[in-house]
Amino acid sequence: MTHSYTINGITCNGCVAKVKSKLLMHPDVTGAEVTLEGQKAVISMQRHLSLNELQDAIGKATGCMTCWP
């Protein structure tokens, strides 16, 4: 399954790379495309991940970014 999310706080390509890397480290994420324009992430996953799970993964990477559908 694939879902799109807005990631609040992405300000540069370094943020994009960091968020993508952290998302791909989650065992249930099979793919992730993160864009600076629009602060969007399209995430493919084996099972539905709660927003809390996604925010935990991203928050640990960045400290200030949040995620919502």
Question: Hey, what domains does the chain have and what are their CATH numbers?
Answer: 2-68 (3.30.70.100)
Instruction: Name every residue whose Cβ is closer than 8 Å to that of residue 47 and which is 6 or more positions away in sequence.
Output: 1, 28
One digit per residue, pLDDT tens: the chain, 69 residues? 999 998 888 888 888 998 999 999 999 999 999 999 998 999 999 999 998 898 888 875 555 555 555
Q: pTM for the whole thing?
A: 0.81
Q: Is the dihedral of CA 36, 68, 61, 47 positive or negative?
A: negative
